[in-house]
Structure 1
Amino acid sequence: MARFNTINASFFGLFTLLGSFLYSNRGSLMTLYANRPGSLKEYNILPSAGVEFEDIVRSCEDVYMNTDEGWAILSCDPGRGSWNTVMGTFIDSSAHPDAGLYIYHYQDQVNAVPIKLTFSNFASGERNFHPLGIEYVPQSRTLYVVNHAPNGPRIESFRITVDHQEALHIGTIEHPELRTPNSIAALSPSSLLVTNDHYFEIRKSRVLAKLETYLALPLASVVRLDLDISRKAGPPKVTQLARLAFANGVALLNATTVAVSSSAGAAVHVYTSPSRFMKDADDIKLVNTIRLPFLPDNLSVDSNCALLIAGAPYAPALEAVSKASAEFDKPDAVQADRPKAPSWIAEWTEKDGLKDLFVGNDFSTSTTAVRDSGRGIGLAVGLYERGIMTWGDGTAA
């Protein structure tokens, strides 16, 4: 009888763990069924949406949009098919000659094209530059860029001169707690929020990193970096604020509220802090979870306080594009055969909830969407896509 009770207890424990796993991963598991090939319902309410500049930029991951002045900076790495430390691609760590930061004066809708910023004081770093998330601080004209360099992740800082399309490298931030930095949001000129998308680095342990992803283990983190910009020396002070599964995009909804996307959890978590995240970890608390029908990547907030969310409807399709990308980057590859993965762009407001804007294959592997509501212009970029998607009629929304 004792053995029978032990077996029953073991089965009960396993069923409890399975139930907990299925419940906590219900969002991402539903995407595998609802968004499978042949089942995804394409949808588009973006006015005049189309893809531009396919021959100028590709594989752009993040966008910063300056709506006051009408320009945007894109973080692009055409070598992502050979080196992607998030997806686990380690074929060739050499920086692609077109990898870099591109400025796009979108307010000039007739003549503007993305222009690659010229680096200065960054000769050695440019050879190892694999840009991901970016954030700009207008007060200091400083652009912070996550760099998944071959010799370890770090954050690069640049002083941007918009008129001359120049980026002066002013520093590199490295810290043991920046294990897998992905996205950045500036609290002030001297304080940044940074997401670490994984606890286990895939370049060190592919098995543990994949288990962390597929089991949606809440091990990734949001940290605050306090920088001593007056001395410009020494490591930053790092404070861990929250843990969640596959922390990805981060954006400030207002002075005391931040949104963080959980790619593995198919959700965006909303945290609040009465002191603008400037105290210890106990000062931040989860106040809302926005469940999504897709896997979110980066986040942005427009001037109407709407949260824009871009991401992937179907993870296996994104994985397939990631694995095939290097082959299709070869000169003799037939680009018409290049696989694509659908994109999903949505917006969320506390008043109206979640609203889909774009779902489909006309633009692939979306990671970031931004919008200038005053000018009625929007942009989106894709992790392995050529060009950028633009939309809008050029009038106020």
Structure 2
Amino acid sequence: MPSVRILSQLAFAVVLIAWSLPWFQGRKHALTLLAKNKPENLPEINTFSSYSHKLINKVRNCEDGIIIEEDGFAILSCDSGRDLWNTVMGTFYPQRSLIPNGKLWVYRYEEADDSESSLAPIEFVDYPGDFSFHPLGVEYHRKTGTLLVCNHHLAGSRVDVFTLDVSSKNTPVAKHTRTVLHPLIRTPNSIALLSGTEFYVTNDHYIRRRDSPLGALAETYLGIPGGSVAYVNLAAEPVEVRTVARAPFANGVAVLNESTVAVAATSSAEVRLFDRLADNSLVQTGAILVPFLPDNLSTNKDGSLLIAGHPHPPTLDKLVKHRRTCISEEDGTVAQECWKSTSPTWVSRWTAEKGLENLYVSSKEFGSGATAAKDADRNVGIITGLYENGILVWKE
């Protein structure tokens, strides 16, 4: 008969295999995409009734974009300095004085592109100390005018809070009101508002690229759930910050309804669904597998979820490395011929009724898609590109 020791070892092995099986299945799905989604293998899908590549040579490297339907404008989070400073992808240009700041833009998409008020940069005032601005996720609470920005400041990532005045179309102004620096906000990426003073913010990694490049890559490709979702309450004194969920490479976050929150788990190629509890803690209830690595999320009035992301991470990595070779040693500028993205884009829509629908897939037209958002009433949508020149504007 087998000894007690052998039986114990077998029992341990069974438990270990059972515990590891979901992890192996998740890694299989995500890693399969590295071979399946090579640009030359991707289908070209376009379900839009019309679309156009706009704001070329006016905005570039736009990571996030949110639509304010009531007023018919979008806020674009763009950073020409991303070619020199990207804490997520590991770009840290040593001559910091040459790194240009990013900008937020108000884009009034119903106005003619050549009108003076169709596109205006937001002016920032009362920012304490040296102004360092490298924005990723943004959110806007229209009723209070509160503007929140994930800012990968050269001195350390944080969430900056502003009051935005858009009464002047040509010169919207954002007044700085506070900065949230906290140990539980290590790598802020995306924000979802709950009220004028409460929000969720994702941290894409626990291991920061600036601290350990190899460790951060291991966290990404092994699917280690070092990313997190933090709940923040600005009305509390001191500011309340607590971790309420974890996910591998926690990226975009969106509130689907009063009880459900969606989080893009980029490393797992899925969007995780969470129940929101009375204390704003989150409990995972499901997941939406997607055929690409999801970046940012947005919701529509009809309850649908727009998911944009990157089909083939190695191609995005190759693009980032190429951009570094385009940097002028003299002044840190990047030649205009390098502004075009060569990394593919994938945009899908999910609803509980229909499941996942592919709206746009391209390796040729508009690259490095990071966010898709839509004004449902006006039937106008936008796609932003992490390393793209301009944005894509579409209708269904």
Global fold match (TM > 0.5)? yes
Change (3 A) 1:20 1:257: closer
Equivalence for 2:179: 172
Task: Give the letter aligned to residue 27 of structure 1.
Answer: H
Instruction: Answer with 96-105 or 252-261: which moved more.
Output: 96-105
CA contact (8 A) 2:101 2:133 kept: no
Partner of 1:369: 372
Structural mapping, 1:196-235, within 5 Å: 196-228=203-235, 235=238
Task: State yes or no: 1:256 paired with 2:231.
Answer: no
1:192 is matched with which residue? 199
Q: Which residue of 2 aligns with 1:324?
A: 322
Aligned to 1:101: 104
- Taking only aligned residues, the RMSD between alpha carbons, in angstroms, comes to 2.7
Counterpart check, 1:129 vs 2:133: yes
C-alpha change, 1:219 and 1:67, in structure 2 (3 Å) is same
Please say if residues 224 and 241 of structure 1, whose CA atoms lie closer than 8 Å, have aligned partners that are also in contact. Answer: yes
Which one of the candidate residues 150, 153, 175 is aligned to 1:146? 150
The structural deviation recorded for 1:298 is 0.4
Q: Residue 120 of structure 1 aligns with which residue?
A: 125
Counterpart residue identity of residue 219, structure 1: G
**Residue 164 of structure 2 is aligned to residue 160 of structure 1:** yes
Structure-2 change in CA distance of 1:33 and 1:88 (3 Å): same
Alpha-carbon separation, structure 2, partners of 1:219 and 1:117: 34
Q: Give the 4+ runs in structure 1 shifted more than 6 A.
A: none
Q: Counterparts of 1:99 and 1:296 in 2: how far apart (Å)?
A: 23
1:18–1:333 distance in 2 versus 1, CA, 3 Å: farther
Q: What's the secondary structure of 1:305's corresponding residue?
A: coil
Equivalent residue, structure 1, for 2:54 = 52
The number of residues matched between the two structures is 381
Whether the 8 Å CA contact 1:79–1:95 is kept in 2: the answer is no
Structure 2 SS opposite 1:124 = coil
* Bigger mean CA offset, 150-159 vs 88-97: 88-97
Give the equivalent residue in structure 1 for 2:290. 292
Aligned-partner SS, 2:39:
coil
Please point out which of 62, 65, 68 is paired with 1:63. Answer: 65
1:55 offset after TM fit, Å? 1.1
- Aligned equivalents of 2:74, 2:335: Cα separation in 1: 31
Cα distance in 1, alignment partners of residues 204 and 296 from structure 2: 12
Question: Which deviates more from structure 2 when the two are superposed, residues 198-207 or residues 305-314?
Answer: 198-207
Per the alignment, in what secondary structure is the counterpart of residue 50 of structure 2? coil
1:378 equivalenced with 2:376 (yes/no): no
2: distance between equivalents of 1:75 and 1:315? 22
Cα deviation, 1:246-282, whole Å, max 9, x if unaligned, reads 000000001111100011000000101242xx35x4x
Tell me how far 1:123 sits from its aligned partner: 6.5
| TM-superposition CA deviations, 1:195-249 (whole Å, max 9, x none) | 01011111111121111101001121111001127xxxx6421121111100000
Q: TM-score w.r.t. structure 1 length?
A: 0.89
Deviation at 1:141, TM superposition (A): 0.1
1:345 aligns with 2:350: no
Q: Secondary structure at the match of 1:264?
A: helix
Q: Which amino acid aligns with 1:131?
A: P
Length-normalised TM-score, structure 2 = 0.89
Whole-Å separation in 1 of the counterparts to 2:375 and 2:83: 30
Counterpart check, 1:84 vs 2:86: yes
- The answer as to 2:304 corresponding to 1:302 is no
Identify if the C-alpha distance between structure 1 residues 36 and 19 changes in structure 2 by more than 3 Å, giving closer, same or farther: farther
CA distance in structure 1 between the partners assigned to 2:349 and 2:140 by the alignment:
22
Counterpart residue identity of residue 42, structure 1: E
How many angstroms apart in 1 are the aligned matches of 2:339 and 2:180? 40
1:327 shift after superposition: 2.7
SS in 2 for 1:38: helix
| CA 1:187–1:125: 2 relative to 1, 3 Å | farther
**Contact residue 27 and residue 267 of structure 1 kept, 8 A:** no
In structure 2, the partner of 1:311 is 309
CA distance in 2, matches of 1:87, 1:160: 30
The reply on whether 1:272 has 2:275 as its aligned counterpart is yes
Change in Cα spacing, 1:217 to 1:333, as seen in structure 2 (3 Å) is same
- The CA deviation string for residues 63-120 of structure 1, in whole angstroms up to 9 with x for no partner, is 1210011011111110101110011111144475462110011122453532111111
